[in-house]
Structure formats: C-alpha cells, structure tokens
Amino acid sequence: MYTTTEFQQLLEDKLRRKRGKEIKEADDKDVYEAVASIVQDSITEDWLETRQRYEKRNERQIYYISMEFLIGRLMESNLMNCGLLDVCSDALRQLGRDPESVYNQEHDAGLGNGGLGRLAACFLDSMASLKYAGHGSGIRYRYGLFEQRIIHGNQVELPDYWLKEAYAWETRKANESLKIYFGGEVHSHARADGSLEFTYKHADEVLAVPYDVPIVGYRNNVVNTLRLWSAELPEHEAEIPGDSESRYYHHLDHMHSVEQISGFLYPDDSSLEGRELRLKQQYFLVSSTIQNILREYKANGGSIRELHKKTAIQINDTHPSLAVPELMRLLMDEERLSWEEAWKITTAVLAYTNHTTLSEALEKWPVDLVQQLLPRIFMIINEINERFCRGLWFDHPDMRLDIPHLAIIADDQVHMARLAIVGSHSVNGVAHLHTEILKKREMNRFYRLYPEKFNNKTNGITHRRWLLQVNRGLADVVTEAIGPQWISQPQKLSGLVRYSNDAAFLEAAGQVKQENKKVLAELIQKRTGIHVNENSIFDVQIKRLHEYKRQLLNIFHIIHLYNELKDNPSLDLTPRTFIFGAKAAPGYYMAKEIIKLVHHVASIVNEDPVIGDRLKVVFLENYNVSLAEKIIPAADLSEQISTASKEASGTGNMKMMMNGALTIGTLDGANIEIKDLVGPSNIFIFGLSSEEVHRYYAEGGYNAKDLYHTDERIRRILDQLHGGEFGSQEIEFKDLFYHILYHNDPYFVLKDFDSYVVTQELVEQAYRDPRHWQKMSVANTAYSGKFSSDRTIHEYASDIWKLTPVRS
Ligand SMILES: *Cc1c(COP(=O)(O)O)cnc(C)c1O
C-alpha cells in the first residue's frame, strides 16, 4: 500500500496541516493524532461502502445490544486490520519515534467492567473480520470504569474521564438523534377502527444522540459500526431561560439530570445495583437501539411484518431485556400491529445470552419503580406476564405449582431473566458446564417448558488482538513453523502439535517467552520498584476481584510458601513471582480487604532477606485491557481457581492459554473445555467438582472450623491474619478471619487448600524441566484455536442468527 518513505511523508503532511507542526516539535500526542487521522482516511471509504453494500443487497443484520463494550485501545488493531501496522511502526522509528509510546497515547475506552464487556468487544472484531453484517449498540458513558490507585495498600477510585481529549475514533451523528420518554401518564383512546391509541402526558423527553465507532475487519475492506448513544437535553428545551434566577437553576438541574443518563458506567461486575438511574440507562439504550433498527429497516423499504426475516437482536445478559416490551410497544403503538403479530415478530427477533448463575447478579426491579419510570412499558410487561401465566395454567397443568417461580412479575418485582427467556427464541449459556447447570438446575423449569430454546455458545477471544497483536514474537515463530493460515483459520494452530518434539521450535518459543518476561519485569520495576527474578515462574492472576474467583486461595498459598521458607530457609523451592491485577467494586468490602491483604503480604514477603528473590508478590494497579495486553504474553502460569460452578466461562483463561501459559484451575467454566483439548497432562486441575460443591450447598456436610482445627497449615495462616505476623495494630484482617470461619467458608477456600498446595508442587516440579514445560506450553497454544471468537461467532451466526457472511 505505502512504502515506509511514503508513510513518513504522509505523516509529516498531516502534522503540518492538522497540528501546524514539524515532526521535530511534535510531541507523542500530536503524532498519535496525525496517525489516527491517516487511519481514519483509509477507513472512511470502506465504512461507507460496507453500509451501502448491506443496504443494496438487503442483507440480514444482527444487532448486539450490550450495556458494556470493554474496547481498550483501537490504534494498533485498526492499523493491523488495515494492513498499515508495520509500515507505520517503521516510519515512526525512522523519524526517531518510539511507536509504542505513540500508540500508548490513546486512553483506554473502558466502557465495561470485565469479561462480559470484553466479550462484546471481541465479538465486534470477529463479526467484521468474518464479514457478517453485525453491529454493536451501547452507551457512550462520559466516565468509564474507574481508575484504580493503591494508597497504603488500599484501593482508591478515581473517575475515568476518558473523553478529556477528543476520542479519535468516534463520529457524532446529531441528525440521527432519537427521542426517549420517561415517566408521565399514559392515556388511551379508541381509534376509528376500534384499535387503541396510547399517548403520553407530562413525560420527560430525552434526546439520544448516536456516536459511531468504526469496527475494522481484518484486511477485508469491511467496516462495521459500534453505535454508542449519548443522552442530551432536547433542542427545544436547550435554551436557557433568562427571565428568573430560580428557573435558570431549575433548568441547569434538569439538564444535569438528563445528561446523567449516559454519565457513568456502574462499576459492579456480576452484581446488581438496583438504582433508578441504572434502570434509566437500560431503557435509554434499548429504546434508542430498537427505534434506530426500525427506522433503518423501514428506510430500506422493509415491510414491518417481515422484520424478523431481516433482523436479529442479541441481548448481552439481562441488562437490555427491556428490549422485549420496547419492541412490542413500537410494533403495536407505532406500527399498529396486533398483539399476536407483534409477539410473533418480537420472539423471532430476540435472543438472550445468560452470563451468570450468581444470585447477587439476578436482575429484579421493584414493580413500583418500573411502573412510575416506564408506565407504558410496565403495562406491556404486565400483559406479557398475564398471558404467559394463563398459558401455563391451561396448557401445562403439570406446572401449575411452578408458576410462582416462572412468573415474570412475582413478589412485587419484575424478574428480568424470566422476561428475557419468555420473550426470546434462544437462550444460551457461555460454556458447556454453564449451559448444563442452567438446564439442570438454575433454569430447569424454563428448560422443561421450552427445551428448544436452550443452547450453548462457549465464549471466545479474538486471536488477532490476543495473539497476533500483543505477542508478535510468538506469532512470528508460529507463522514460521506452520505458515500464516492460522490468522484467518485459528483452528490451524493445531498444526503446532507436530512441533512439540522439535527442539529448534521449542527453543524459539521458549526464547520469546523469556523476552516477554524481561519486558514485563522492566514494567514491574518501573511501576512498583520491585525487582523480580526473570527466571522465576511468572504466576498470574488477573481478573476482577471477587470472592468466588478466590484470590484468597492464591494468597493463602503464598503465605504457606513463606511459612515453609521461614521454617526451613534452605528449602529448595522453585522461585516464583506472583502477579496480581484486580479492581474491586467500590462498595464490595470483602474484595477491598483482599486487595489490602495482597499488599500487606507483599510488603512482608518482598522485604524479607531470608526469602530473597525466591518469592515476590506484585500487584499491578489499574488492571484494564492495555495492562492485560502487557502481562499475558509473559505469563507462565494462569490462575483460574474459581469455586467450581461459579465462573460461567472465563475468557482470561483462554487469552493466557493461547499465549502459552499453563493453567492451574478448577473444573469450572471453560477450564473444562481447555482440559478436554490439551489433555490432563498439559494442565493442572485441582479441587472440588461442581457436583461436589452443589452437594455441599444442598446437603451440608462441610465444616470450615474442622479444617481450622485439624490442618496446622491452615490454622497458622488464619491466626497470622488475626493478629499474628500478618496483622498489626494498624492493619488487621479479623473480618476475613471471622468471615471464613463463621460463615463457613462459602467459597470452599479452606476445603480446596490442600489440593491446591499439592497441585502447585506439581507445577514446581514441572517447571524444573524447561524442555518438558515448553512442550506443554506449545500444546496449549496449539489447541487454543477453538477459543477464537471467530468460532463462537460462526456458531451464533449459524444456530441463532441464521446469518451467512456477506459476499464481497
Ligand atoms: C479478559 C479480561 C477480563 C476477563 O477475565 P476473566 O479472568 O475471564 O475474569 C477482565 N478484564 C479485562 C481487562 C480483560 O481483558
């Protein structure tokens, strides 16, 4: 496309015209913006053509609605997908610039909490790269997920004002704004034909303004769209009244409350924050998305009765499940379809993905709140519920006793998962085990009612970002061995299996890992001042902080190793560096205590001369996508140690496997599918099974205090927390101590401790044989092709969306 010199020229021109600067006087930000502008130029035409092609060919479209898109940075992946990454990096280097520090100028788009939001971002990448007519729809939060600082071992949250400098990838489309209504009263009048017309009085009007972000396919000229909605005051209200002071302040208040709707992302991962503003956000997203879909469909000449033939909508978790009544509302009130017609279309269009069975995440909203905020929507939910329950009573007499557990409105609450299941034609879980648990337990009543709706779609990650982009060293070694086909067909990574006895290949892959560890060690040194041993095991646990993810089990193991070394300083222990990254929800007390504990343990272990560099504990603050991209290529050991049955799938496990880390994990989520692929000799499995966990919950039989009294290692650790070595006047972990012993260790940390320690010893032994370890590492990369989100998206497309790739 361009030679390095041409690109250099282009860049210098841009700098002059856009920033009025010569390259010599430009800082990294100037250069970043110039590069972004070049990329924009090269995308624009394809973006337009992609849209026109979908319209002209009247393609079936899929809209992925999600409250979260955890995008991270886009510069490198956009450059890579346009085929400009190498030429741009070379040009920058020739101009005396460090490409990485230019690309790092981009502020992460942190519009998500963790796995669920990152999944949505990977799906967008795969849909564009596989040429599916698929779009994302989300909220343009002015503040993304908080920035985490650690002060004296405590998490402090800072607002993430990511739009401080203009976001390079978005385009405001004010002329495509839509109106959203909240509150007020609903009135109905009979029309001449006898049908009912609904009008709203005294409702608050909010303007939804779209901002489009291009989603660039991998070297295929496809550019799809992520449309993010921003809440603004409608134009006719925007004029500031000048006639009285109080009206002026009232007006500012009103403007502020409207803009709050897209003000910030709720920082709770896998738990429900039942506030009115959150419900407003959900309806705001759903109403703008569905109005927009109908507008585009009709503009293209589609007949509303055939909407389901050209449109599929996937709702990411229950957060957008108001899509069910909102689509019904628009089809009936605006398009004048009958209930029966509207219902047929709604259920044919919508599909729902379940992400968790944790009870604290089950979305329920008080009837009063829904009724007052969304009066017309509430009427429709009520009618859906009435018809559903009536159908159960008459058509399924055997299920009459189950009605209280199936009803959409029960105990004065609207049950969002039930609404989503009843209103969709597909309900999917995100890993084999998770889907089985939904069918057999959590949603068994619905499964008996609608067995045909339930299906599994095991999560995936985009191998382009998570291998090709973030680990160029390994990607090159792989391509050298098996050719570049794996980039478009990730399952072809299995060709590496043949190389697991090839000394030269193992050597090359091992060398890359060593270099990646060196780079990470430098980052750790720079950010924390801790010097780590580059030959130690890089033992990584990076994910949101949650009791069910059991960072505590990891810490207990560290304390245990520390105790062993103190008792026997000459113990021959394989050196380890424990690396943590984790944000806790701001109101999650136990999670914050655990962060404090990691820091406290680190301060003792890292300073102890007896320990030396045999053990180091590192907590990297502000874990986000960009930090993940730096840690994952350097990981030796991937900690996936959730209480079995609690982690629906996990995707961090897949990213690390693909980068050649070995997993130590429970038989939970997608870990099971990893094990089935690599075989038991290439993974370290430990702990209770999900059946055993379930049995203890159902029948009892576990007593944490017994373990405290019988296992000296456990007693010693817990006592250290309670005021011994790991507690002091200022820092105490009594709450953790009591929580575990007096709430009977609900996540089985103590129960799985012995099995975890034994398995960690196997890890140590294995690491002492570098060649053997490297072989296992290569097997992990080789079998990771299944976990490309390309595979996941192909499955959604063929089983749920009935979508085929667009022909060029
Ligand atoms: C992949 C990813 C996650 C999900 O990690 P899990 O280990 O599956 O919980 C969370 N946050 C970020 C930034 C990620 O990149």
Pairwise CA distance, residues 301 & 263, whole Å: 36
- Joined together, the tokens standing for residue 596 give 């404090």
> What average pLDDT does range 580-585 have in this prediction?
98
Ordered by start, the domain boundaries in the chain are 1-56+74-105, 58-73+108-457, 463-698+752-793
Side-chain-side CA neighbours of 368 within 13 Å: the count stands at 2
Angle between helices 4-14 and 28-56 (to 10 degrees): 100
Q: Convert the pLDDT of each residue in 361-383 to its tens digit.
A: 999 999 999 999 999 999 999 99
Other beta carbons within 10 Å of 131: 19
Cβ count within 10 A of residue 691: 11
Q: Which residue has the tokens 């590069």?
A: 35
The closest residue, in CA terms, to atom 15 on ligand 1 is 625
Encode pLDDT of 502-552 as tens digits: 999 999 999 999 999 999 999 999 999 999 999 999 999 999 999 999 999
What is the distance in A from the centroid of ligand 1 to the CA of 765? 29
User: What are residue 190's phi and psi, to 5 degrees?
Assistant: -80, 130
pLDDT one-digit tens code per residue, 50-101: 999 999 999 999 999 999 999 999 999 999 999 999 999 999 999 999 999 9
* HEC string for 508-530: HHHHHHHHHHHHHHHHHHHHHCC
Number of H helices, E strands in the chain: 33, 25
Query: Same CATH fold, 463-698+752-793 and 58-73+108-457?
Result: yes
Q: How far is the CA of 267 from the CAs of 114, 145, 523, 573, in angstroms?
A: 10, 6, 27, 39
Q: Is the minimum distance from the CB of 115 to ligand 1 under 6 angstroms?
A: yes
Atom number in ligand 1 closest to CA 461: 1
Tokens of 92: 């920058």
Query: What are 680-690's pLDDT values in tens digits?
Result: 999 999 999 99
CA 93/CA 311 separation, integer angstroms: 46
Contact indicator for 769, 96 with CB cutoff of 8 Å: no
Ligand 1 centre distance from Cα of residue 546 (Å) = 12
Task: Name the phi and psi angles at 24, rounded to 5.
Answer: -60, -35
Interval 114-153: pLDDT, tens: 999 999 999 999 999 999 999 999 999 999 999 999 999 9
Token representation of residue 669: 């989520």
The alpha carbon of 515 and the centre of ligand 1 are apart by a number of angstroms equal to: 24
What is the arithmetic mean of pLDDT over 183-199?
92
Q: What angle do CA 432, 438, 441 make, to 5 degrees?
A: 125
Closest CA to 789 of 435, 453, 352, 491: 491
The closest residue, in CA terms, to atom 4 on ligand 1 is 115
Residues 464-483 pLDDT 10s: 999 999 999 999 999 999 99
pLDDT, one tens digit per residue, over 237-275 is 766 666 778 788 888 888 899 999 999 999 999 889 889
pLDDT in tens, 320-373: 999 999 999 999 999 999 999 999 999 999 999 999 999 999 999 999 999 999
Asked whether the predicted pLDDT for residue 730 surpasses 70, the reply is no
Q: From CA 417, how far away is CA 358, in angstroms rounded?
A: 13
Going by the DSSP 8-state scheme, the letter that residue 440 receives in this structure is: I
Choosing from 269, 466, 544 the residue with most ligand 1 atoms within 8 A of its CB, the one to mutate for a pocket test is 544
Local confidence band at 728 (pLDDT 50, 70, 90 cut-offs): low
CA torsion sign for 726, 728, 733, 738 is: positive
Cα of 128 to ligand 1 centre, how many Å?
22
Q: What is the CA radius of gyration of the chain?
A: 27
CA of 652 to the centre of ligand 1 (A): 5
Strands 413-415 and 364-366 turn out to be antiparallel
The bridge status of strand 662-665 relative to strand 637-640 is parallel
Nearest CA to 318 out of 279, 362, 375 is that of 362
- Domain spanning 463-698+752-793: CATH superfamily: Glycogen Phosphorylase B; (3.40.50.2000)
Q: Which residues pair with 143 in a beta bridge?
A: 264
Helix (H) or strand (E) holding 253: helix 245-259
H or E element at residue 56:
helix 28-56
Question: How confident is the model at residue 267, as a pLDDT?
Answer: 97
Protein residue whose Cα sits closest to atom 10 of ligand 1? 114
- Portion of the chain with pLDDT greater than 90, in percent: 93
* CB of 356 closer than 6 angstroms to any ligand 1 atom: no
Atom 1 in ligand 1: residue holding the nearest Cα: 652
In this structure, the chain runs to a length of 808
Please tell me the distance from the alpha carbon of residue 108 to that of residue 103, in angstroms, as a whole number.
Answer: 11
pLDDT surpassing 80 at residue 727: no
Predicted confidence band of residue 724 (pLDDT cuts 50, 70, 90): low
Sign of the CA dihedral with 585 first, then 588, 590, and 592 last = positive
| Share above pLDDT 70 across residues of the chain, in percent, rounded to a whole number | 99
Report the CATH architecture of 58-73+108-457.
3-Layer(aba) Sandwich (3.40)
Question: Does the beta carbon of 624 lie inside 6 Å of ligand 1?
Answer: yes
Which residues, including other chains, have CB under 8 Å from residue 3's CB and lie 6 or more apart? 87
Per-residue pLDDT at 635 exceeds 90: yes
457 CB under 6 A from ligand 1?
no
State residue 240's pLDDT score: 64
Q: Supply angle C-alpha 610, 613, 619, rounded to 5.
A: 110
Q: 660 CB under 6 A from ligand 1? A: no
Average pLDDT across the chain, whole number: 96
Contact 182, 203 (CB under 8 A): yes
Look at residue 666 in the predicted model and tell me its pLDDT: 99
Please tell me the distance from the alpha carbon of residue 51 to that of residue 40, in angstroms, as a whole number.
Answer: 16
User: What is the number of the ligand 1 atom nearest to the C-alpha of 640?
Assistant: 7
Name the residue with the closest Cα to ligand 1, atom 8: 650
Give, in degrees to the nearest 5, the angle at Cα 724 between 589 and 756. 70
Catalytic residues: 355, 543-544, 549, 651, 655
H helices of 722-796, where? Answer: 734-742, 749-767, 770-782, 789-795
Q: Is the CB of 114 under 6 A from ligand 1?
A: yes
Smallest Cα–Cα separation from 196: which of 382, 347, 384, 339?
Answer: 339
Q: Whose CA is nearest to atom 9 of ligand 1?
A: 543
**What are the C-alpha distances in Å from 491 to residues 463, 756, 791?**
11, 32, 9
With the most atoms of ligand 1 within 8 angstroms of its CB, the residue from 122, 268, 625, 638 to mutate is 625
Helix, strand, coil: what percent of the chain each, to 5? 55, 15, 30
